[in-house]
Structure formats: structure tokens, C-alpha cells
Amino acid sequence: MKTIEYLTTPGLREIFLPGVIAGLAIALFGGVLSVFVVMKRMAFIGQGISHAAFGGIGVAYVLGFGAAAAGGTGASVLGGQFLIVFLFCLLAALQVGMLTGGDPGRRGKRAQADTAIGIVLVASMAIGSLLLHIAEKRGRVSTVSWESLLFGSIVSVSEADAWACVIVGALILAILFAVRRPLTFWAFDESAAAAFGVNTRAMRVTLLVLLALATVTAMKLAGVVLATAMLVLPAAAAVQFSADARRVCVLSVVFALVGVALGMLLSFELDWPTGASIVLVLAGMFGVGWVKGRMWHRAAAR
Amino acid sequence: MMQEALKSSPASVAIRYSGVSFSYESGEAPALDRVSLDVRRGERLGILGPNGGGKSTLLKLTLGLLRGYSGTIEVEGLAPVEAAKRRLIGYVPQRVEAELAFPITARHAASMAATAGLGPFARSSGAEARVERALSVVGAASFADRPVGLLSGGQMQRVMIARALASDAKILLLDEPTVGIDPAGQKQFAELIQRLHDELALTTIVVSHDLRTVAATSDRVACLARTLHYHDSPEGLTPHVLAEVFRHDAAAIFGDLHVDAHRASECGHDHSHGHSHEHPRERGNGSHGTQSKSGGGGS
């Protein structure tokens, strides 16, 4: 078992263990958060947010906050990068999110939102790649690891990153726990929730901020492209197995943890890229659930 | 004025509208124009009006979902947004608005209004007891564990009513409650409203475009088509009043009542003219329908 070797041998352990811890932390908060993302149909918004992160990375690199990604572990560099990327995600999240929501009473501009996300998504990628190119030319970073930025890399996860995942994860879970009742009501029936005194705007902003926070945190491990997978797939698989919100939430966390653990195992044993392995395992679980759901429905219809 | 004299004392008023006007865009024709109405405590009020007549605008204003109106709305003496925070109105939306693919049970859906205001660490046992009581009052206990996606229209409606009851609201506001409900379900619905009124002394407001729905669930009817045209007993709803409210639609919808919508809109409240020219076959004419009430120069 290479996995055991990676996680116990001194020298190797320092490289791989932070990634494993980060992955499990991401699974924990991603599993819960994804329930709301799937219920509120925000998967595509999540995509937009994570791609906006790429623009943020470009800015961070040009400003000299890129060393951490190239192997450095300076806390100030790391913190600066995190902050810049988070701000970028937050701006994208709020802009896109407000466009899709709006006041429940007013005639919204929902039709525009789809286009807006599409534009934010590609424009951020373009800005990001341009700025990374400039940063590279000016010598702000030695070489840009495109693959690691886009698809993530377990060895690039530092001890500080792992801590960030654990702390941010705890924060996200605490906030979700605090607002779980009004948030569920809002997600289920927005205008009725407002009529019963739920501050729907606050709920929307809360979920978008948490989404941005989660995306930035998950990005180091899973990359820009795959980060949202962690915020969608666990719950998407879980809803195939239950129609009870609490059970879906528990299942979603279980699936996320199993997906990350199994994905990493495959990645270590077969030398596959970690982010891709995790996502494929999760997608596989969704597939099994989907097929099972079809068969179950067919049996129920008989 | 007559209407001023008829106004009830504040203590017996559940909701008071005074000169309420609202436009979606400034400069646009108002969706509501100087609506004044008292909803009395414990009454069963129906608000009848054509589609686009301002019913849902009035509903959203009452629930605090829309702001920026002129005039005043008082729900138990409070502004609508404040009243919503205290869950004074039990809102029962049209079925289509909720997310039915949602993985939740009927019981969970019914509990949301009662538990939404609880703090993160508050125990929900009190609210849960109210939810169980509400579910059995509306006759939804037998399917409480079923996912909402598998409920019929009538069942879902009962769950939504249970949600409102469990929130301890004393005013029930129902939006188009019979849309998508079969005739048997509609009859059950009318009986349920009667029962809630008798047993729990609730104030119920049924908002609908459907005359039968309103007549079956109300002691008093207010007709709304941008402005308030009438508010009295359903028996007093003459074809003439309906014609005034529904305008040209009336000829199409209530053709069998021998309503001459065209004449009625021209003549205002003068009955004699309305009955002297009967053209039951005349259908609504779109270009006339867009004219303002006082314009009247169509023919």
C-alpha cells in the first residue's frame, strides 16, 4: 500500500498529510453546503464563482502574492493570496447572486442571470490567464503551474493550507448550523419565507458568501475547475437516496468523505491526479444513485 | 362620506388599507389605485378580481414583499414588514411557487414557519407539537411523512395551511387556493375554511379570480380591478358589479349571465342602462380593455 507509506514515512508524510487533512475538511463542509447549492439550483453560480477565483489568482500573482503556490509557505503571502482571491469570488458571487435573486415580489431579471454567469466565467478566466502570463514575464513567479491551478494538486497543499481548510470549514459549518431553519425555509419557498418574516436577502447573501469562502478554500486541493464539484456532487448523489432533508444532509457528508478518501486512495495507489480522482469517484456515486433511483421509481410505478 | 361612516372601530379591524396606491415603475399606470378597505377580525373575506387586476400586488403589499406604496396598510396596527416579522399573517401561497423537487417531507414543510424564528440552539418541541396539531386539524396527518413531491394539489394545499396554522397566525391569507384542485377538493377546501373560521375564530382572506371559490369561502366580497369596486356580501354581487370588475372579460367568462360588459363599463354604477342593452354574445375586445376607467370613450 503506497497510501500507508505516504502517510507514515517521515519526509513523505509532511508532503501528503496536509492534503489529506484538507481534503477531509473540505468534504465535511462541502457535503453540508452542497445540500443548499443543489436545493437552490446554484450549481452554475458555483461554477461562475470558482472561475472568478482564477481572475483573483492572476491579480494575486501580479501583486507578488504567488510564491505560496510555487512551493513557498510564507503566511503573509498565503494570507494575501487567500484574501485577494476571496474578494474576487465574493464580488462575482454577490453580483451574479443578486441578479438571479432579487426581491421575491418584484419582476426579476432572472433571464439575464444565466448570460451574466457565462460572461463572468469566461472573462475571469481570460483576465486570470493574461495576468498570470504577465506575472511570469515580470519574474514575479518562476513558472506558473497551470495544471495545479486548474485541477489542483495534493502536494501543493501546505500545512498552513490544511489549517485554513479546517478553520474555514468549522466557520462554515457553524454559520450553517446557526441559520439552518430560516435558510431551509428560504430555499424551499422564498416568497412564503419572506411573508413569515425570514430575511430572504440576508439568506441569499449568507449562502453566496459561504459559497465563495468554500470555493477559495477548496481550490488549492481541487483547482479552479474541480472545486465546485465538491460543492455540488455530494448532495446531488444524496438526493437520489432519500427525500428527507436531514437524511440527505447526513448522506451528503458521508458521500463526500467516502469520495475524498476513496479518490485519494486511487490517486496514491495508481498515481492518478488527486482532484480528478476525487471528482470521478463522486460522479460515480451520483451515477449509481441515479440508476438506482430510476429502477426504484420504475418499481414504485408498477 | 358614506365609507368613512361605515368604518369599523380599530379594535375590531385585522387589516386596514387606507388610500393604498402602487405602481411598479414610476410613471406607469398604477397597479393599485387608492384602495381603502377594512378587514374585520374574524370575518371571512373574499377578494375577487380579474387577472392583472392588482390582486397579487395587494397580497404582496400586505405580506411586506413589496414596498414603496402610498397610503397606509396596517396589520393589527403594524406596518406589513413588521407584521411579517411577527408572523401575524399565515400566508398560503399557490402550490406552484414551492420547490417540489425538494427532498423534504410534508411534516418538515409544515414546520418551517413555526421554526423559522427559533434561535440556533432553541428547542423545537413546542413548535413540533403545534405542527402535529395543525396537521391533524387540516387532515394531513396521514400523509405527513410523504415527500412533498408526491403530494396531490389538495394535499399540498392542506400542508401549506397547516404551515400557516402552526405559526400561530390569526389571519389566514390564501392566494388562488383552488387553482389546480379538483371539484371534490374544492368542496373540501371550502368546508375546511368554514371549520377554521368556526373552531379557531380565524380571519380568513381568500384571493381569487374565481367567483365560485370566493362565494363558497366568504361572508363578504371585495371586488378589485385596480381600484376597489365593491365590498359587501356575495349575494349582493350582481352581474352588473361583476361586469364592472371584469370589464370586457366578463362577457367571455360570465356570458351565461347576460352581461353586457361594454355597456356596463360605460355606464358606471347605473343599473338601468346595464340591463337595457343586452348583448350576451359580445366578446371582450382587447383594445377597449386597455382604457382607463374614467376614459370611457370607446364607443
Domain CATH number, residue A219: 1.10.3470.10
CB B51 within 8 A of CB B209: yes
Domain boundary among B119, B143, B168: B168
Residue B298 resides in a domain: no
Q: Which amino acid is at B197?
A: H
pLDDT, average across residues B143-152: 90
Closest to A196 (Cβ–Cβ): which among B24, B91, B120?
Answer: B91
CB B220 within 8 A of CB B193: no
Q: Do the chains contact at A197 and B85, CB–CB below 8 Å?
A: yes
Match 493550507 to its residue by C-alpha cell. A161
SS3 A228: helix
Half-sphere exposure (Cβ direction) of A129: Cα atoms closer than 13 Å = 10
Q: Which long-range contacts (CB under 8 A, 24 or more apart) does B281-285 make?
A: B281/B255, B282/B251, B283/B248, B283/B251, B283/B252, B284/B247, B284/B248, B284/B249, B284/B250, B284/B251, B284/B252, B285/B248
Nearest alpha-carbon partner for A260 in A51, A14, A31 = A31
CA distances from B92 to A211, B172, B214 (A): 31, 7, 15
Domain boundary among B143, B168, B193: B168
Q: How many distinct structural domains can be found in chain B?
A: 3
Residues B258 and B194 in one domain: no
Q: How far apart are CA B26 and CA B211, in angstroms?
A: 32
pLDDT, average across residues B33-47: 91
Residues B51 and B37 in one domain: yes
* Better-predicted residue by pLDDT, B105 or B180: B105
- B223: domain CATH number is 3.40.50.300
Q: How far apart are CA B216 and CA B220, in angstroms?
A: 11
What's the full length of chain B, in residues? 299
A chain contacts of residue B118, beta-carbon cutoff 8 Å: 181
Residues B218 and B77 in one domain: yes
pLDDT one-digit tens code per residue, B154-212: 889 899 999 999 998 989 999 988 887 888 888 889 999 999 888 888 999 999 988 88
Q: How far is the alpha carbon of B116 from chain A, nearest alpha carbon, in Å?
A: 5
Residues B75 and B174 in one domain: yes
Residue B295 resides in a domain: no
pLDDT one-digit tens code per residue, A5-59: 888 888 888 888 888 999 999 999 999 999 999 888 888 888 888 888 888 888 8
Q: Is ipTM strictly over 0.90? A: no
List residues of B whose CB lies inside 8 A of any A CB. Answer: 24, 60, 63-66, 84-87, 89, 91, 93, 97-99, 102-105, 108-109, 112-113, 115-118, 120, 147, 149-150, 160, 163, 167
Strand pairing class (B32-40; B13-22): antiparallel
CB A257 within 8 A of CB A56: no
A chain contacts of residue B85, beta-carbon cutoff 8 Å: 197
For the ranges A63-67, B23-27, B293-297, which has the lowest average pLDDT?
B293-297
**pLDDT above 60: residue B243:** yes
**pLDDT above 80: residue B280:** no
pLDDT, average across residues A223-230: 81
The domain containing residue A134 runs over which residues? 2-301
Q: Do the chains contact at A198 and B116, CB–CB below 8 Å?
A: yes
Residues B67 and B178 in one domain: yes
Q: How far apart are CA A199 and CA A195, in angstroms?
A: 9
Q: Counting beta carbons within 10 angstroms of the beta carbon of residue B29, is it exposed (0 to 12), middle (13 to 18) or buried (19 or more)?
A: exposed
Backbone angles phi, psi at A239, to 5 degrees: -65, -15
Match 452554475 to its residue by C-alpha cell. A44
**pLDDT above 90: residue A98:** no
What integer pLDDT is reported at residue B45 of this predicted model?
Answer: 92
Q: What are the residues facing B223 on neighbouring strands?
A: B48, B230
Residues B6 and B111 in one domain: no
Q: Which amino acid is at B207?
A: V
Mean per-residue pLDDT of chain A? 84
Q: How many distinct structural domains can be found in chain A?
A: 1
CB atoms within 10 A of CB B4: 7
Q: Do the chains contact at A194 and B99, CB–CB below 8 Å?
A: no
DSSP per-residue letters across B96-114? GGS-TTS--BHHHHHHHHH
What integer pLDDT is reported at residue B257 of this predicted model?
Answer: 42
Share of chain B above pLDDT 70, in %: 71
Residue B296 resides in a domain: no
Residue B69 resides in a domain: yes
CB A218 within 8 A of CB A26: yes
Handedness of CA B179, B180, B181, B182 (dihedral sign): positive
pLDDT, average across residues B101-119: 89
Residues B40 and B174 in one domain: yes
Handedness of CA A54, A60, A65, A66 (dihedral sign): positive
Q: Do the chains contact at B65 and A195, CB–CB below 8 Å?
A: yes
The domain containing residue B131 runs over which residues? 103-168
Nearest alpha-carbon partner for B92 in B193, B230, B234, B224 = B193
> Secondary structure of A110-176 in the HEC alphabet?
HHHHHHHHHHHHHHHHHHHHHHHHHHHHCCCCCCCCHHHHHHCCHHHCCHHHHHHHHHHHHHHHHHH
What integer pLDDT is reported at residue B277 of this predicted model?
Answer: 38
Q: Do the chains contact at B103 and A248, CB–CB below 8 Å?
A: yes
What integer pLDDT is reported at residue B236 of this predicted model?
Answer: 65
Q: How far apart are CA A70 and CA A146, in angstroms?
A: 11
Residues B19 and B109 in one domain: no
**pLDDT above 60: residue B218:** yes
Q: What are the residues facing B222 on neighbouring strands?
A: B47, B231
Residues B80 and B142 in one domain: no
SS3 B175: strand
What integer pLDDT is reported at residue B266 of this predicted model?
Answer: 33
Residues B6 and B144 in one domain: no
Closest to A194 (Cβ–Cβ): which among B84, B86, B108?
Answer: B84
What integer pLDDT is reported at residue A146 of this predicted model?
Answer: 78
Residue B95 resides in a domain: no
Residues B249 and B215 in one domain: no
**pLDDT above 50: residue A69:** no
Domain boundary among B221, B236, B251: B236
CB A87 within 8 A of CB A60: no
CA distances from B7 to B1, B12, B69 (A): 10, 10, 22
